[in-house]
Amino acid sequence: MNNLTLNLTSKYNPYFCSNSAEQNNYNVDEASKFWLREQPQKTTINQTPTTQQTITEKPFFNSFETDTATNAAGTAVFLRLAQRGIEWLSEMCASILMRGKEFASESDVKKVADAMKSEKGLKADIHYIDNTNKGFLKRMFPGLAKSIDTVANGGNAFYTHQGNFAVAPKSKPSLILHELGHATNFEKSKFFRGLQKLKVLGMYAPMAIAFLNDFSGKRKDGKQSFIEKYAGVIGFSAFLPTIVEEAAASIRGIKAARKTLPNVKLGALKRNYFLAWMTYVLAGVGIGLASKLAITEINIEKSNRNNKQNASIKTT
């Protein structure tokens, strides 16, 4: 979870879905104008002094560019709906996780956590908090006050190398094993530490992909560019380092629990950690959708602008 709220889709998807304050204010009603068509206009051509033929002709500004805008608008609406579905699934996973049963008693969980810290030689401090004892952490780390409040209310857990501590809610102490997995990744593995630092790629992927596609320009043959065609895959790939590192943190926690408590069944722990991991997978899918949507909306804007310019030329 690594200093993230369980509603990862919202936090990591400021462009493509959710109800983030930073999301694009794409008005679906605006899309309807792209589905309109100009009525055919009649043009009279004199073929002979006594014969006239009437043919039907569409205005030249209402052909390819308008069709492109129509397709883009339909794609944008579909992507928005897909984003809502991803957000709903992420919230469901988070809700089921926090309602899930603990695999062991609080004392056993603390036993595993202490053994994990001792065996790995971790320097990170361990805290279990609620609203009665969160104050000291908020005073020590005022910049993390909001995140600490979320943990105290039983809504999250996180590890931060800046303060070098892992924190979990008293109501869900088993989450601390996952956070100590993050601490182990950071302190003991250069590879996984690198993956943690690559998290920023996912956060800014939609903007970066849209910029690169726009900067590269349109292909002369009119076909989609590589970036435009695979924007969703590229966006998801940018979040893969986080997905992999989150899985590794959970696996470390599960292995420590199995070693310290060999007679305790770990089904509940595995189920809870899988649900937590799925919020990250869904966040990655959301970022892929965001990347595709960013390019699509740019295409809508360009097509709309071209149509207006062509319409202006026609009227003159």
Whether the predicted pLDDT of 148 surpasses 60: yes
Residue 210, domain member (yes or no): yes
Residue 81, domain member (yes or no): yes
Q: Which residues contact 295 (CB under 8 A, 6 or more apart)?
A: 209, 210, 213, 227, 228, 231
What residues are paired with 160 via a beta bridge?
Answer: 165
Which pLDDT tens digit goes with each residue over 258-302? Answer: 999 999 999 999 999 999 999 999 999 999 999 998 888 877 777
The three-point CA angle 54-56-311 to 5° equals: 130
Residue 27, domain member (yes or no): no
Residue 176, domain member (yes or no): yes
Residue 42, domain member (yes or no): no
Whether the predicted pLDDT of 84 surpasses 70: yes
Whether the predicted pLDDT of 314 surpasses 80: no
b/e sequence 192-225, b meaning 16+ C-beta within 10 Å: beebbebbebbbebbebbbeebbeeeeeeeeeeb
Residue 214, domain member (yes or no): yes
Residue 112, domain member (yes or no): yes
224 is in which domain, residue-wise?
A: 8-21+71-315
Which pLDDT tens digit goes with each residue over 1-58? Answer: 544 333 333 333 332 233 333 333 333 333 333 333 333 444 444 444 444 444 444 4
User: Domain count of the chain?
Assistant: 1
Residue 57, domain member (yes or no): no
